[in-house]
Chains A and B, each alone.
Chain A
Amino acid sequence: MTEQQWPLWEVFIRSKQGLDHKHAGSIHAADAAMAIENARDVYTRRMEGVSIWVVESKYIHATNPDEASSLYDPANDKIYRHPTFYDLPDELKHM
């Protein structure tokens, strides 16, 4: 028996208005309409979301883990990029 798998889709859920869509996981579906429904049924059963994006996984381009050291390590010793060298007035809260 030949088994044909439906394409894989990545699911992004917005948990409430004003927040960003966050990656929730992936599902299989035959097309976009089914992907939205499957995402709804799999990832929003416990009131996790108010909006869903799906994108077929093959359209996601990613960095290569082998290049991680050249891509990300150079940021390690640039602490001056963090806004941590300012004296803040005492009245300023929540920073």
Chain B
Amino acid sequence: MDRNSHINYILQLADNALVLGHRNSEWTGYGPILEQDIALSNIALDLIGQARYLYQHAAKLAEAAGTGRVTEDTLAYGRDAWDFRNCLLVEQKNGDWGKTILRQFLFSAWQYFFYEQLQQSRDSELAAIAEKSYKEVVYHLRWSSEWVIRLGDGTKESHGRMERALEQLWKFTGEFFVPAGYEKELTGIAVDPAVIRPLWEDRVGEVLAEAGLEVNPGAWMQTGGKEGRHTEELGYLLAEMQFLQRAYPGCEW
């Protein structure tokens, strides 16, 4: 097993959680209603918590490989866009509440089945992180599913907004199931995307049907995020998120 592949894989999972957590945190103080502002901020904190465990794990492996000083902070704040391994879906801009909800739903449905499988990983640290995170994701999926149904099956206005959101985001969901090069070398450690694909499709299909939303089954899918080829949105996100550590390296407060 290649240690670099292993580290890249953990970074992919960590970057997914950090980037979506950061996106969600952009809503803090701007939520449509106080209670939902808090709900989404809670999810943001859950995701950033997951990212921390994963970065810490990756940092330990990297240091053991003799790459010099690596910490969760250098991984989160010291890498550039092309080093990030997150899938394209999570870096997409918030848009309106409907788009944010739909992004969360599509991702949570993936994370739900993914963490379920990852608990069987031969990497016991990853398995433990998966077990802990799974409980959080069960709630994220429940919360976001209800909102997708509420908005999709709501007023003409909310339905139209959900249709637009689906049109914008659907093309980024195919990437979940296309293994990156480094994923293929990690038998027993990584989750086989082919296993979760039908589960994800069933669950997402059920919720979208209840919401009265339709997808184009043959839609073209954009990929590349897992290999570091990102949409332009990620650069802006990192510029804001990493600013302080870039301007004042190692700064603590």
Interface residues of A (CB under 8 A from B): 6, 27-30, 33-34, 37-38, 40-42, 45
Contact = CB atoms under 8 A, between A and B. Distances in A.
B39 A38 contact: yes
The listed residue with most B CB atoms (<10 A of its CB), out of A27, A30, A38, is A38
Contacts, number: 27
A42 B38 CA distance: 7
A30 B35 CA distance: 11
Interface of B is mostly: helix
A16 B36 CA distance: 26
B42 A29 contact: no
Interface of B: 33-36, 38-39, 42, 139, 142-143, 146, 150
A30 B42 CA distance: 20
A34 to B, nearest CB: 7
B33 A41 contact: no
Nearest to A33: B146
13 contacts: A27-B35, A28-B34, A28-B35, A29-B35, A30-B150, A34-B146, A34-B150, A37-B143, A38-B35, A38-B36, A41-B35, A41-B39, A42-B38
B38 A41 contact: yes
Nearest to B139: A40
A34 B142 CA distance: 11
Contacts of B143: 37
B146 A37 contact: yes
A29 B39 CA distance: 12
A40 B43 CA distance: 12
Contacts of B42: 41, 45
A73 B143 CA distance: 48
A34 B149 CA distance: 12
Nearest to B34: A28
Contacts of B34: 28
